[in-house]
Amino acid sequence: MRRSRQAFPVGLYGMLLFALCWLTLPTVFAPLERWGLGLVSLVPELAASWRGTPVHAAEPAVAARLQELTFDLEVRTAKHDIGSAARFVPAGWEPVHCAVLSADSRRGGGDQPCELLLDHSYAELAGCSAYVTKADVLLGYLVQPGEALAGEDEPDDPARVILLNHRAAAPVMAETARTSGGALQMIVGPAAVADPAPLRVDLWDNPFTASRLRHGGQLVHVVPLDRVDDQPPPGLWLGRTLVWGYDGEVGQDPLAIGVYVSTPFEPRSLSHVVVWRQRGVSAPQPPLRERSRRIPARLWDLPGAAGRRFLLSASAAVPSGAAVVHAGLCIGTTRGLSFGNALVTSFLGSRRRWNLILLPSAAGERPRELSAEVVETDAGVAVLRCRSDSYDGFHAPLPRGYLFTGSNGRGCPAGLFLGAAEPGYELEELQVTIPIEAGPLDVEVLVPGGER
């Protein structure tokens, strides 16, 4: 008998090649994936619309309480961010309180982000001083569009701030108190990416005394320089000293080989900063922009993922990363699909890192800006592992209070309520009770605005 030739499996190899391209070139195939998922989601959306009516806004008393907490958060944040620095800033200067859109992914000293983007444009901040503060801490410098690092930026672009750990940041003249009395003066500049802290002491006025430092933790303050224009206000502080070296043998002092400065605020957790403008100086009017707009939508639980994953249907296109809000409560963020649909991951079900703000229950106590992620969930309670600031000291515990979103991108601004929080079992753990409502929900999607 004659043997028939085996046919080459063109279809099989074609599918394998297509799958390989899909995996290795995700951005190329992302629009196709969104379109396909959006098309598939039309079926459960149609079925869900036949099952029950949406749950509407919470009781007026609850909504009023959330408004009260949100207002308290705004007042306390502004008081802490502005009031502490006002006594050091020269007379005649007024604050411009700015929200942070994002911390750039590039790394500076201490392997921490070294650039911020603000919700104000360069045009809106025209005439402002170069230095940027938070409380009585110097954070960095405002750059100008068309110059050096912002050479490709336009006046209407979000303003860029380089932090002190940026390699291009100007060194700062500073001093720290000596345990034996008096002060040690120094030049502080950006550290290397591999260094243990964002800032490093480059030069001492008394190297011998500096070499005998045994313990860190002293505050480092800015000191004035003669004949220097637009310098940071003296009295602001940069951080706390961190002595780096080797432990000595028994009966001998440790050997200090370097002194670094640990900054009190983590760049990735910053939600607000302050820029200073001379009173009476008016900036050119930039194009009028909406900070965000709200799109009405409807939300359904996905089978098997109640309280963690949802299907959302809106009357307009939904971008990825937008916050979904119900009666003042932030439910989660979106992954945009086609046809006005989106998948929503709740805060309770997320495994991403969030910027958060903790409003302490104690009246008048300053808010804490955190970088955190959910590590465990149980019956509507999320356990967060947090990285807090060290403004009050290296190991200050987190207080009981109320948790809000920090700045998590253009579509998820700071100040959206998440739940009530209390300290966990570990030093930087929080246990957050998340309000959960069953059934379809009428919600709003926060979409970044543009020119209008």
DSSP per-residue string spanning 31-98: HHHHHHHHHHHHHHHHHHHTS---B----HHHHHHHHHHHHHHHHHHHHHHHHHHHTTSPTTEEEEEE
Q: Which helix (H) or strand (E) holds 301?
A: strand 292-301
- The structure's pTM equals 0.83
Give the model's pLDDT for residue 278.
Answer: 86
Taking CA atoms, 303 is separated from 306, 339, 388, in Å, by: 7, 21, 36
Confidence of residue 339 (pLDDT cuts 50, 70, 90): confident
The strand pairing partners of 174, in sequence order, are 186, 222
The predicted-structure confidence for 291-325, as pLDDT tens digits, reads as follows 678 999 999 988 877 778 899 999 889 999 999 99
The predicted-structure confidence for 49-79, as pLDDT tens digits, reads as follows 544 444 444 456 777 889 999 999 999 999 9
One-letter amino acid of 372: A
The count of other CB atoms within 10 Å of the CB of residue 377 is 18
Q: Environment class of residue 354 by beta-carbon count within 10 Å: exposed (0-12), middle (13-18) or buried (19+)?
A: buried
Residue 415 contacts residue 404 (beta carbons within 8 Å): yes
Task: Please list the alpha-helical segments (H only) found in 259-393.
Answer: none
- Structural tokens at position 165: 């750990």
Q: What is the mean pLDDT of residues 184-196?
A: 93
Cα angle 152, 157, 160 (rounded to 5 degrees) comes to 80
The count of other CB atoms within 10 Å of the CB of residue 94 is 14
Residue 419 contacts residue 433 (beta carbons within 8 Å): yes
Give the model's pLDDT for residue 284.
Answer: 56
Nearest to residue 342, comparing CAs of 3, 45, 110, 24?
Answer: 45
Phi first, then psi, for residue 170 (nearest 5°) are -70, 140
d(CA 273, CA 163): 11
d(CA 148, CA 165): 17
The predicted-structure confidence for 11-48, as pLDDT tens digits, reads as follows 666 666 666 665 665 555 445 544 444 444 444 554 44
Cα angle 129, 132, 133 (rounded to 5 degrees) comes to 130
